[in-house]
A and B are shown apart, each in its own frame.
Chain A
Amino acid sequence: MDKLTNKTTLLDSIRLSEGAEFECNEKAILNEYQNQQENKSSLAIKVLSIFGGFLATLAFLGFLAIAGLYDSELGLLIFGIGFIISAIWLNKEYDKLIIDTFSISIYVTGFALFAFGLSEMKVDENVIAILIGIIALCSLFITHNYILSFISVLAISGSFLTLIISNDLYGLIHLYIGVYTLLLTYLFLNEAKIISLNRKFSKLYNPIRIGLITSLLFGLITIGKRHLIPISQNYIWFSSIVMIFIIIYLVYIISRINEIDSIKSKILIYSLSGLMLISTIFSPAISGAIIIVLLSFLVNYKTGLVIGVISFIYFISQYYYDLNFTLLTKSIILFSSGIVFLLFYLFTTKKLNTNEKI
């Protein structure tokens, strides 16, 4: 109860600073706090329910495979649709954390059965992918459950990727990456706008944020790991175009936060960032990871930051591993970039010290 009184004082202080126009439904707010306290989900619980859900799905699919229940296409289809609908209905009806594991398993199993049933019926792969994308999109509008929405975002991205790969239109992966990077940047930089838009968007904000990061990572992996898909290495810089614009824009925002005003420092910052961007022009995966890191740190989103840093390390190692140079050349490149970063470091420390003097 102590927490709730805290929230009331919080509300009062907002009321004070906002003035007369501010109206709120205090009862609804306190109700939601109450409900949230009962269903407070830590990261451990989320991960536990996702892992549990997927393990159970695997076991259930194993059961279907061994029992030979996949013989009836129609049965698969009906079960699939039934599972998806019940998952969404369950969440709509009882928005409780407790049923998460169960609804995740039947949701994912539902998609698997649905896709399998259709493919047994010799339905075109594209149609299946589009249908799954549409179902996932619809469920985003119906349910606000965190994990279900997260899985729906992944299902939508998965259907895009399937369409691209199964039609051999690998060039479109650049479009996928470009669009997702832009969406992600928009979502991060317009948090206030989106959550104040309406209740639905406000509830979907968190799951879509983590969903978009994961989807972007999928795209980045396809170009970050060479020969994973047969994509022309000559045009790999296509994705970099969007990345470069976004990073320059982020550098602009960051230098404003850091109150860098002198022309000299500005020129230095932009030219050093430019140098870094030119060196990553053939590895958009690395710049993509940098964008995730910068955006997440900008809005102080820890999970995103950790994901960004890990993928950054991975993409850099993968890039140098794939690089077709002798070890000596690689060594020189790595060594000199290391020195450049140390210079960056000296620059930022010096900057800080002069600031402190003023």
Chain B
Amino acid sequence: MTKIEREDIQIISRHSNWSEESIDKILKQEIYSNKESWQKFLRLFFISLGVSFTTAGIIFFFAYNWADLHKFIKIGLIEGLIVITTLIVLISKISLDIKNILLTGASILVGVLFAVFGQIYQTGANAYDFFLGWTMFIALWVAISNFAPLWLVFITLINTTLILYSQQVAHDWSEVFEFTLLFLINLLFLIIALVSKKTTKEIKPPIWFTNLIALASVSFSTIGISLGIFDQKQTPFFVLIVITSILYALGIKYGLKVKSGFYLSIIPFSIIVIISAFLIKLSDDAGMFFIISLFIIASVTFVIKNLINLQKKWIN
């Protein structure tokens, strides 16, 4: 017998006199979380809460900037904590998931260490080099951990470093160039994740992770191009358009290949937003807004229609 799903229960109950008790029984047996999944869930829930609260407590402690505490003690304390956590990860026999959560905690502590260093030597809390240092020094852990949440922290740090660098140092970068760079970097990670998913057995990036990076990349390209439309005369804008067109085409091709509705939704949606921005650039009187509203409805409906057709094809 195939596994019954919630949808099956709903549909069958609609057209039969299936009793409430039996439905309740089958829901509890087949659909609801059982003992094993509850225990797994609770363990993950508590360890994540425990590690994040403890780390947050440590961060707040150093943010308080206790004047009486000598700087050697401050830095020593954090370094001690980092050493202890990594030792637990290295030596103990706990499960891999838990080790990875601890390692993520340790990676955050590295950030605290840099922040306290900055506090003592007055380098400023939002200097880009603070984030650069943090990123570089956890890179090795990230690489060996093979743990999606830690990768997410890492990629967020890279993006933050880049944005701060462009604000604090590279004043001559145009906004469009900045977004092009962000787009390419996130995309690079996405491609690495997707390629390694296919070629190796060890690396299995979860769907939510690749989808999140894809969403970030597409947002960056959409914002970049929309900014470029209103702010002409730039060569980076044309470069971005060319790169985006090629990569979007590849993205659509990939989406079709792996049968992912996600890629086939966000890329067309991004194109719809870009075209709408372009239409507003052409004219911003009332008639244009009316046309845009019709355009959005028509194009989104068109995309959905194609998605439904594809789904039908994929099922059969």
Contact = CB atoms under 8 A, between A and B. Distances in A.
Interface of A: 1, 3, 6-7, 9-11, 13-14, 17-18, 21-26, 28-29, 32-33, 36-40, 42, 44-45, 47-49, 51-53, 55-60, 62-63, 66-68, 97-102, 105, 191-193, 195-196, 199, 202-203, 205-206, 254, 257-259, 297-300, 320, 326-328, 330-342, 344-345, 348-349, 351-352
Contact of B265 (A45, A68, A342): A45
A14 B18 contact: yes
Contact of A59 (B14, B53, B276): B276
B269 A51 contact: yes
B232 interface: no
B54 A338 contact: yes
What DSSP secondary structure best describes chain A's contact surface? helix
B148 to A, nearest CB: 15
Contacts of B300: 48-49, 51-53, 56, 101
Interface stretch (B41-49, B123-131, B194-202): B41-49
A298 B16 contact: no
What DSSP secondary structure best describes chain B's contact surface? helix
Nearest to B272: A52
Given A18-B22, A341-B50, A196 B13 contact: yes
Contacts of B269: 48, 51-52
A264 to B, nearest CB: 18
A24 B56 CA distance: 56
B308 A45 contact: yes
Contacts of A193: 20, 24
Contact of B15 (A17, A25, A206, A342): A25
A335 B63 CA distance: 14
B293 to A, nearest CB: 4
A105 B57 contact: no
A338 B51 contact: yes
B52 interface: yes
B64 A344 contact: no
B308 A38 contact: yes
A59 B265 CA distance: 21
4 closest A-B pairs by beta carbon, nearest first, are A335-B57, A52-B300, A24-B16, A338-B54
A191 B24 CA distance: 8
B54 A57 contact: no
Given A44-B261, A48-B304, A300-B32, A24 B17 contact: yes
Contacts of B17: 21-24
Contacts, number: 262
B315 A37 contact: yes
Contact of A259 (B35, B52, B55, B305): B35
19 contacts: A37-B312, A42-B261, A45-B265, A48-B265, A48-B304, A56-B293, A56-B300, A58-B293, A60-B293, A100-B304, A300-B37, A331-B59, A334-B56, A338-B51, A338-B55, A339-B54, A342-B51, A344-B42, A348-B43
Nearest to A344: B46
A184 to B, nearest CB: 16
Given A60-B289, A258-B35, A330-B60, A195 B304 contact: no
B53 A334 contact: yes
B280 to A, nearest CB: 9
Interface stretch (B4-12, B150-158, B233-241): B4-12
B18 A196 contact: yes
**Which one of A22, A67, A68, A192 has the highest number of Cβ atoms from chain B below 10 Å of its Cβ?**
A192
B73 interface: no
Nearest to A31: B15
B304 A331 contact: no
B33 interface: yes
Contacts of A23: 16-17
A101 B297 contact: yes
Nearest to A352: B39
Contacts of B58: 331, 335
Contacts of A58: 293
